[in-house]
Structure 1
């Protein structure tokens, strides 16, 4: 057992009113549990293998896809945007590179600036979310915008940069982004329950995302997020599939050892003890890397997943509520003393 008392996580779930699933693994030891409703109207319960939206947690898939093309010599991290994508960006700096896009240091305008805009749903008042069916559909939201910083100067989390990366993948491979990820990441890993699904065609065993309104009532996020996920976020995964993903990445089954190392290297400092690699957050303590992790938040979605290199723990916590995943992961980390060594 990973926990000394079986009721520890039950109490944790209750205290946080958590709706989702939890999967924790270390070597051959596993702990898995689920809570809450996948469908509140039908009172259909979440299961450990329920599919959940993970919002920006899927940016790492985009970064790996780019690195795979680097491994095939189709791209390089220092290649300029203008040399690998035939799309007009009238006001973008000519020196923007793939590295800048991957590390949120490109300085391009974002279509949703999380540091300025609080309400993601307000975006769709002018551009209906049901029209955003392809990566190209996002271009009018930022394509003609002005630069907000010089490339390479400042870390500023940027969703549009990952839309651009997805467009690069599509142009370089001749495949729709979602198809590329399925064929080159999900299928090789055995993530058979994961994918990019349209909100109006969700497959069986998928949790609906729920938003709690001020009056305590709940509504789905059907009109609150893009209808289909893309290269900046929006994949659906199960907690067990996400654990499989980390194992495959760290076993060099998705990239060779050198490129895996580049992906997981701290490329830009974000704040004390926190850096960003390519599509992945990196936490350090006293000069040691203690955590690689991804996270995602959308209306009706909260997600955290991590690998802890010193202990070998691997964790996935997806939720179909707008919050909850962070608090659950933090308390599990404390219970397992993951940062005490």
Structure 2
């Protein structure tokens, strides 16, 4: 499979390029960037990968898929160009500014029968994979509350526009994980935090999502937090699972490592970073699954070869975007937002009865 990349900022350089280069049976064709600094970085990181001035040049070189990792303001236009060219496309997250923009991309891809996926790589974080295994085994019993948080102290992130603010950017990961675990959401309440009056982009958020199945998800993110919450705290009738800190793949990628250089060490969590199962006085370590961001690209490769579905469906990202829109509206209006009940999930009265 021949893969091209548009954008060589932090996302393109550290979270896409190393995985594309590590993917067996794939050729990293080139990167579209006109920045002299980023071209120099590309030459140092991947000496045999070509830099292109335009998307048209990349497409002319021959690609089976294009990954778009530009800032959010430019992203949808590039995604639409790739769709119009009839080439499979991966959009970085967040997928869109709002649901209208997301729906336009999804409809265009469906009308032209072009594969469109979204890079929700944290579906393959070590802690998330471990949690999915615990839930599948029934070890926690019936889950009542899912708490998920990514908080850190990073003043340089304040006011960054590239991802549309922390709620839109980081929140897209947390919402995606909640939807994967517990399904559709019918009520959303949110709060957003700004460091300075008049600041356009938030530096912290809290969301409460009420799922149709009765689980309540509390999601939060912050870039100015000195004492972060646990990454996950999942409460069930038979026990709770907690884990501290972030999956280590991000640190590995930012250190210039890749699945190709690290082999079995990539995504493996040191035992002191494993989470805990707790019930009353009982407390024991839970062995962490190995994280595998590479699984996204392996799934993309298989889908384009006609084996299986896309690793992240575009309509999942559309549902995600609608929740993020509702969260912003909730924070601005100070009220709970009620979302339409998805077809096949019961009536509103049945859902309200189940959740009361």
Q: Provide TM-score, normalisation by structure 1.
A: 0.26
Which has the greater radius of gyration?
A: 2
Q: Provide TM-score, normalisation by structure 2.
A: 0.26
